[in-house]
């Protein structure tokens, strides 16, 4: 089952409006197989878009981007890089802010986040920074033009993760979370001369 470390949830957030990126703090969230109940990203399936370029635009695929997660420490690093006092999880449209998990954005796919009231999330991968979020950050600091463009670089490898629900439950601010890394794997691409590769 691999090694694990421990963090804690700082806040849980919901974005109820389909067209509004910003999320808001909740005292708790119910977690179903669809995601955070009431959040605009909840659903068992989703239509492929720019975030899932491996599929044709509009193809119906499993929703592996149900819950977005950011890190308190990484938000502080983004703020520092931008020269602003703070960057809030809500501005990034995050559903969950965790503290105490080093280099959260680098957690590999398949990492499990296990919460005390049953909920378990599985990491799909990094949530890549976009200018849309950057514009939200900029709107809070209009005195700093160009923040939207600078956000993408400042948030590189710090913008957090997307994940999906493996087990339903409840998540609250202050919950301890166990972070279970998948077993270490040492798969590397075979050399081109490998006959299994050159004659598939």
Q: Which residue has the tokens 């166990």?
A: 178
If binding is defined by CB under 8 A, does position 187 make contact with a second copy? yes
User: Residue 62 has which token pair?
Assistant: 């499993």
Pairing assessment for the beta strands 96-99 and 67-71 based on DSSP bridges? parallel
Nearest 10 degrees: Cα torsion 102, 157, 78, 27: -60
Distance CA 31, CA 121 (A): 10
Name the minimum Å distance from CB 59 to a second copy: 6
Secondary structure (3-state) at 167: strand
> How many Cα neighbours within 13 Å face the side chain of 73?
11
Phi-psi region of 146 (alpha: psi -120 to 50; beta: other; left: phi over 0): left
Distance CA 93, CA 100 (A): 20
Contact with a second copy (CB under 8 A) among 67, 160, 164, 175: 164
If binding is defined by CB under 8 A, does position 80 make contact with a second copy? no
Interface mask toward a second copy for 26-65; x: CB under 8 A = -------x----------xx-------xxx---xxxx-x-
Interface mask toward a second copy for 133-162; x: CB under 8 A = ------------------------------
Number of residues that bind a second copy (CB under 8 A): 56
Contact with a second copy (CB under 8 A) among 76, 118, 153, 174: 118
Name the minimum Å distance from CB 178 to a second copy: 9
If binding is defined by CB under 8 A, does position 182 make contact with a second copy? yes
Name the minimum Å distance from CB 124 to a second copy: 8
- CA-nearest of 31, 52, 185 to 113 is 31
What is the enclosing helix (H) or strand (E) of 154? helix 147-154
Q: Which residues contribute to the site for a second copy (CB under 8 A)?
A: 1, 3, 5-8, 33, 44-45, 53-55, 59-62, 64, 73, 99-103, 106-110, 112, 114, 118, 120, 122, 124-126, 164-168, 176, 180-183, 185-187, 189-190, 194, 196-197, 199-200
């Amino acid at each position: 089952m691999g090694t694990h470390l421990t963090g804690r949830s700082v806040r849980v957030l919901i974005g109820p409006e389909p067209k509004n990126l910003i999320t808001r703090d909740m005292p708790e969230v119910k977690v179903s197989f669809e995601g955070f109940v009431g959040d605009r990203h909840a659903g068992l399936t989703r239509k492929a878009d720019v975030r899932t370029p491996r599929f044709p635009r509009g193809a119906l695929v499993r929703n592996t981007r149900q819950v977005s997660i950011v890190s308190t420490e990484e938000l502080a690093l983004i703020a520092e890089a931008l020269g602003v006092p703070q960057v809030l999880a809500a501005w990034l449209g995050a559903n969950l802010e965790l503290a105490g998990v080093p280099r959260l954005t680098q957690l590999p796919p398949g990492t499990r986040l296990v919460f005390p009231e049953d909920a378990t999330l599985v990491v799909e991968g990094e949530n890549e920074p976009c200018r849309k979020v950057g514009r939200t950050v900029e709107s809070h600091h209009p005195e700093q033009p160009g923040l939207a463009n600078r956000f993408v670089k400042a948030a590189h490898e710090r913008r957090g993760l997307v994940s999906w629900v493996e087990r339903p439950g409840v998540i609250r601010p202050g919950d301890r979370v166990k972070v279970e890394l998948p077993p270490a794997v040492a798969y590397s691409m075979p050399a081109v001369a490998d006959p299994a590769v050159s004659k598939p």
